[in-house]
Structure formats: C-alpha cells, structure tokens
Structure 1
C-alpha cells in the first residue's frame, strides 16, 4: 500500500527540475510566436504577450534555457514526431488515408511554424486540413500551465486565494463557510498524524494528497462491515491497518480524507466505477464578474481507476452550456486505439444527446464559487452531480485546456475564454498598441 509514497517523491523531484520550463523552451513558442505576423485575434494576442513575458519575467538562467531550447527544438521535434507517428500514425491512415510519412512531415511543418509539439498534432486532429489551418487559434499547455495563469497571478497578487485553491481542506472549509455545497473533509493527515486523532468512519472513503493534482496518489476504500475496508484491487484491510496506512502516507505529504460519493442515479451508467464530474471553466469578464465559458463531463471507463481524469485514461464529452446536453465523447487521442464514442465504451450507455441533471444549478455553483476567489482570472471547477444537486469537489487554479479543445474540436483562442484571457493579458502586460476587445 506504499506505492503512492514513491509517486509523491518522484513528482517533487520532477517539479524541482522545472519540466514546464523545459517543455516551453523545446516547443520554440517563446521565439516563434514573436516572429508570427501580428493580427488582432484573441489567440495571437495571448501567444505574443505570453512569449514577450517569458523573456521579461525570466532570470538569466531561465532565458538561457529558452535560448538553448530554441536551438534544440528541431532535434526534439524530429524525435517526438517519429515517436507519435509510430504510435498514432496507422490509426490516422485508416481514418483519413493520409500516409504516415505525410503525417510526420506535417508535424514538422506545424511545429516549426507555430511551435506545436507532435502530441497536440494528434490530440487536436491537425491531420485534418480544416482544423490544422486554425492551429494558431489554439491555446497550448506550454503557454497555459506555468505560463499565462502564473503570470496573471503574480501580476494580480493572488497569494491567499491560490493557497486556498491548492489546499483541498482549506478550499472545502472556505466554500462551506460561505454556504456552498462542497465535499466535506473528514480528516487531514500530516507528518504521520491524523488531525484530532479521529477514528475513520465505517463508510466508503477517498484519500488524496491535500495538494495533489491529476488524481495522483488518490485511493478509494469501500466499507466492508463495521471494521474492514476493501481497496479497488480487492485487498481487505482492518480499520487499524487503514489508519496506519494513512499515517504512513502522510509522512511524505499531507492527505485529506473524504467520503466517496455516488453520482446522481440518472448518470450512474456513465461511469465504470469512480465518481464522474463536470469540469466547468469560469473566467472573469471585463467587469471582473465570473462567466462560465466551457464545460465537459468526465467519465471513468475502467473499474480499476479511482479518478475520472482525462489524463488517467478516462473519456470526456463537451457539455452545451445552456442545455447541459452531452456531445460525442473521446479520449485524449494519443494512442493507436483512440476514437470518438456515442456510447460509453464500458457500460454501453448512450452518451450523445443525454442531458445532465441539475444543469442550471451546476453553472450557478461554479460562478458562485469563483466569487469567493475574486482575484483569480480563470478557474476550473470539478463538480459532482449528486441526487440532491451539484457539489463542489475542488477548484483548479490552472485549468487544463486540452480537454476543452479536444472535446469541442475547436480552439479556445477564438472562444469567449480566449477573448477574456486576451483582455486580462493586455490589461496586465500590453503597451496598449492592440485594439481593445
């Protein structure tokens, strides 16, 4: 039961090596986007201001990494294009008739022209010409994660609200104190101790690192009688053993304990086991009031996976913001078996055309939650839909846009979200030579 300890150590090591800076540098985007022709589109405004700030914000060592990364971009691009062509090329050839060599060459072309790394060529289906011609309108992980979100937070001084979003126990307490429906914290374990030394209840439980992301380190424990629990793999442990396991986990990083919730009965056939959630993105508009701009419904498809994360092998479907209706579901698009689904691949339940219950309340809850963190420009809300209504699970200070753009097959740069991000980037960093939105 100690595998999650090692995952935590590896993640902390990876963060110390600044992988986001390396990915950003190897993409070539901080250089290429400054060389692209100027236009007044929201996407290009975000690209250019991001690239400029990379150089202005970076210290000497970071700028040196950006220069070195630009120099190493072509070799890295050649290697990555070869790897992903081998991984996904045969599937795309069957779908489109486009040869693997042609796909490989297109990855090099779009990479050198726009700074798009090969995984996103397949994720966003740039092998389709009508989508590839809009490549400059997409917003990429290399500029959002540890990019524009961090830049805006530093400029706006979001220290307190950022810490509340990172700390799941503090987040739950803050939302509960302000009257919002949120998954309650049963216990917090840190430094080998459980706060208050409480006894774990005889209920289905969910453990997660208090500052974890992406489902890392999460585990699910089903109550099996008054004094036993079952792990996802069927391992049966006593309450005392599970308590000791929690204490051991917390020696490396703090953990939060929550109840494991069941989804609304109308959508239980859309999961293979873990709790499905809505990812609702809200962004401050020009009047500093939050607007919902995108929503996707994330569905686990393996009984062995305890989270619904897109990057953990789940599928997701775009949600119509007005009606709550689901579109076609998909995975990340990065394997030989990737495809689009009208029915859930595990349960067989219909996905397309389904309407999520309590939908207006879901959107209202996300907007209300954002008002509790008013200095954050954009937040991604994970919201569970329970029998009695929506319930906040957590807020994400750097919402992933891959899932939004993949499921909608359209770029965020020319969406309402792109317009608002461009507005805030210009307010913070522009010399005001660009026409205001």
Structure 2
C-alpha cells in the first residue's frame, strides 16, 4: 500500500477520534435521530440530515467510533444524569415539586429516545411539561457547533471567510475593507514579539487570544497614568511589565491587543465588569439575502469579570427583533441557584421591558456584516452599542444556540432560523 494511502487512513482515524466526534458518538444522536419519522418539520429535517451526514462523512473509522459510542451511551447517560440531578435537582424540585427520581428518569428517557444530553434537560427547562413535549424541536450543541455548520461550510467551500471569522486579526481587516465599524485593533503579539506598535499606548486595553473562544485568556487593563495599568482584580503594573506579560502570553498562542471600549451611557448600569454585547444571529434566506433571526443581550454577572460570555458565568436576556425590548435575564441554568431576573443580579438595574438604543442600526450592521462573509450560511455577531452607535466586536462561524433557546424559552428547530437551516441542508444534501 502506498504511503499516501496510509497517511489518508491515519488522517481519517485522527478525525474520528476528535473530541467533537466523540461527543456526537456518546450522545447517540447520529444513531437515534436517523430513526425519527419524517414529519416534514424543519427540526426533524435538521436532525435527520445531520445523522445521515455523520455516517457519510466520517468514513469507516468514524462509523466505528459512532457505533462504539452508541454502546457506551447508556452508562455515560446514567452517570451524567446522576451528576446533574444532584447539582440542579433540588432547585427544580422546589420550583415544580417534581421529585429527584422522576427528574433522573426523564433525563434517561429523553437521552434514549431523542439523544438529549442531561445538561440540556436543565438548560432548556425540559422538566416543565410544555417544554418536555417539545424536546425534539430543540437544536442541541452536539449537532450544531461542529455538526451542521461544518457540514455546510465544507459543502460550500468557504475557507477564506471561515478563517476570517476564526482569526480575530483577519476579521478586523476584512471588516475595515468593507467599511464596517469594528473595534480598533492596536497590535498583535506572537512568539514573544509585539507587532504593529513600538510600545503600548496610553489607553485602556483589552488582550485576547486571536483564536480564543468563550472569553478564554481575555484580560482588561485600564490606563491610570504615569506609565501604569490596572487589571480587573486591582493589580497594578508598569507599561514595561505589561509588555513583558503580553510577550510571555504570546509564546503559547497569538494575542490581539484592542482598545477597550465602553457601552453607550444609558447601558452603563448593565455593564458592571465587562462590556455588554448583543449577539445577533443572521442566516442567508431563500433568496440569498442575510436575515436576522434571533438576538440576545449578554451581560457580565459580577464586577470581577472581563467578558460577558454566557458559558463563562454571564447572564443574558432575549431581545425582541421588532422593538429591541429585553425579556427576563437568566444564566445557563446549570447551577443549584440558577434563576431568572427582571433586574440585573449585581447592579439592580431594570432589564425586563428595557429597550436597547440604536436597535435598527444594530440589525442593519449585522446583516451588512454578513454580506462581507456571504458564503457562510449562519453567523453569530457580537455587537457593542457605543456612544456613537453599534460596533462589531467579532463574528462567530458556529453560533451557539443554547443562549438563544434558553433565554427565549422556545426551541429554535422550527423557528425562522430552523426553517432556513433545513432549507440549506436539503439543498446541499438532497433528501
């Protein structure tokens, strides 16, 4: 056998053993969703196409992993349900009077019937009868983040725009080329060298890995004068020490240096420790035009954090697309004290019913930005609302739907976004 054949087999095997493939396998989704009856709904179409493409694209090695995952699915399901019932069950019992054994049994049932991982029983409040009955309408992380989004990208061959979304430095360049307002990038740092500037400026700064996600590795440095900067934890360092710190960080991965910006003044009471942003999801419609389908306003939950990421402990509220009005705010729903708030948990500022400024401009910016990355089917935009209007922070090539479905308390599978995703999947992978 030729060496290239060996290499190809090893590459397929390596792909099959990737964490995302293992998560899909252990959830049982590729196997279970393939058995769903086609009822013509968008949600079922998405589940079924995802399942079929998993078997088609992962090859023999991937198929073996999927089969093995199905074998181990039940013990993993039992263990995970036990952990999350222990963590969240007491709170839900107080809210609903549903016993812990019943919560545990419902998680097992949903896992076996619909491949619903136990954490999402609590994230999507499937312990509520109305939500439980609609469990198949939700879109789950195992089929979206490294599932249908990646499948569509491979089919459409959109490598350049994907890299432009993944690499925050390239993202800024592409946005400026298209005349889009984007937060200033002052410098980059890699291999222990700061590129673009000779010295850090007298300005508030924000450091973030160029390919980081979920707020990982981010830090904020406020310029306090006399060549000194202060971190969010109160630590004070000199310019020289901060530059040395940045150089050290960049030896592990590339970093971006941005000017730290603050929200429009009327939103100041909703930004206790970090800049709050709007996450707007856009999707290409049936006519090839970007359309905003969902929006969420994200907020830091305490003063000692520097990012507003939902999966990093932040809170979020759904936004009415027509009016820019906020709904109730919530966290991810996986803590013993998870709850819903009509006011900010730290500042006490009103959230429910509040209208965001520059709302029409926010939606217009999101759809215009999608045109600059037009070969992508769906994108999640992080947009800051500043004193002079909305400004792009970054674009997400695989927009998270946990935050959308949790805050709206409504599944996305048969929403406008679900309809469009199903349309693209059917077009790309004829059913």
Pairwise TM-score range, normalised by the shorter structure: over 0.9
Q: Equivalent residue for 2:420?
A: 420
* Alpha-carbon distance in 2 for matches of 1:64, 1:225: 60
Please state if 1:173 is matched with 2:173.
Answer: yes
- Residue 136 of structure 1 is matched in structure 2 by 136
Q: Secondary structure at the match of 2:139?
A: coil
1:321 to 1:238, Cα distance in 2 relative to 1, 3 A: same
- CA–CA distance in 2 between the matches of 1:17 and 1:255? 29
Rounded to whole Å, the distance in 2 between the matches of 1:253 and 1:19 is 21
Shift of 1:191: 1.2
The offset of 1:200, in angstroms, is 0.5
Paired residue for 1:205? 205
Give TM-score scaled by structure 2 length.
0.95
CA contact (8 A) 1:361 1:389 kept: yes
Q: For the Cα contact (< 8 Å) 2:16–2:58, is it kept in 1? A: no
Q: Deviations over 1:29-79 (max 9, x none)?
A: 100001122210000000000000000000322211111111111100000
Give the corresponding residue for 2:384: 384
Match of 1:337 in 2: 337
CA displacement 1:380-437 (0-9 Å, x = unmatched)? 0000000110000000000000000000000100100000000000000023xxxxxx
- Following superposition, the deviation at residue 198 of structure 1 comes to 2.2
Q: Distance in 1 between matches of 2:161 and 2:197?
A: 28
**Cα shift readout 1:197-238 (whole Å, capped 9, x = no counterpart):** 421011110000011111011011111113001111111111
User: Once superposed, which parts of structure 1, at least 4 consecutive aligned residues long, lie more than 6 Å away?
Assistant: none
1:179 alignment partner, SS class: coil
Q: Which ranges of structure 1 fall in alignment gaps of 5 or more residues? A: 1-14, 432-437
- The equivalent of 1:69 in structure 2 is 69
TM-score w.r.t. length of structure 1: 0.94
| CA deviation profile, 1:120-152 (whole Å, cap 9, x unmatched) | 000000000111111111000000011000000
Alpha-carbon offset, residue 246 of structure 1: 0.7
Pair 1:248 & 2:253 matched: no
Check conservation: 2:281, 2:293, Cα contact below 8 A. Answer: yes
Map of 1:106 onto structure 2:
106
Q: CA deviation at 1:196?
A: 3.5
Q: Which residue of 1 aligns with 2:163?
A: 163
Question: Residues of 2 paired with 1:341 and 1:275: CA distance?
Answer: 19
Instruction: State the alpha-carbon separation in 2 of the partners of residues 109 and 16 from structure 1.
Output: 27
Structure 1 SS opposite 2:196? helix
- 1:215 corresponding residue in structure 2: 215
Partner in structure 2 of residue 357 of structure 1: 357
Describe the shift of the 1:17–1:188 C-alpha distance in structure 2 as closer, same or farther (beyond 3 A).
Answer: farther
Partner of 1:90: 90
Structure 2 SS opposite 1:38: coil
The answer as to whether partners of 1:330 and 1:407 remain within 8 angstroms in 2 is yes
Q: Name the stretch that deviates more: 296-305 or 396-405.
A: 296-305
Deviates more, 1:261-270 or 1:49-58: 261-270
Across the aligned residues of Structure 1 and Structure 2, the Cα RMSD in angstroms comes to 1.1
